[in-house]
């Protein structure tokens, strides 16, 4: 029997990480009250810290600003590829 992997929305991850960063909870307290693993919460806290410093994450972003940046970068890359295809034609 396989266990189904839980998935969390970026909004939930951001709220969970902000409990630790902004409201003074420890990772252990927040992970217990939210029912998530400490290692996952630790990753989210690090990711939110990086995003607040302006570092764009490799995975899905937590903050709306970083998500928008990722969308625009993806669009730019797609347009560059389309331009290269048209040049070769």
Tell me: the pLDDT tens digits for 27-76? 999 999 999 999 999 999 999 999 888 887 777 888 888 889 889 999 99
What span, in angstroms and rounded, lies between the C-alpha atoms of 74 and 53?
21
φ/ψ (deg, to 5) at 32: -65, -45
Higher pLDDT, 55 or 82: 82
List domains and CATH numbers for the chain: 10-88 (1.10.10)
Cα of first residue to Cα of last residue in the chain, in angstroms, is 52
Structure confidence at residue 76 (pLDDT): 96
Query: How big, in percent rounded to 5, are the helix, strand and coil portions of the chain?
Result: 65, 0, 35
How far apart, in Å, are the Cα atoms of 66 and each of 26, 46, 51, 78?
Answer: 25, 14, 7, 18
pTM confidence score: 0.72
């Amino acid at each position: 029997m396989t266990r189904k992997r839980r998935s969390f929305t970026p909004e939930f991850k951001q709220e969970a990480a902000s409990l630790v960063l902004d409201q003074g909870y420890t990772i252990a307290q927040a992970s217990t009250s939210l029912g998530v693993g400490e290692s996952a919460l630790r990753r989210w806290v690090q990711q939110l810290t990086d995003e607040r410093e302006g570092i764009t994450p490799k995975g899905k972003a937590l903050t709306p600003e970083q998500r928008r940046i990722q969308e625009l970068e993806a669009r730019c890359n797609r347009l560059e590829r389309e331009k290269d295809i048209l040049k070769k034609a």
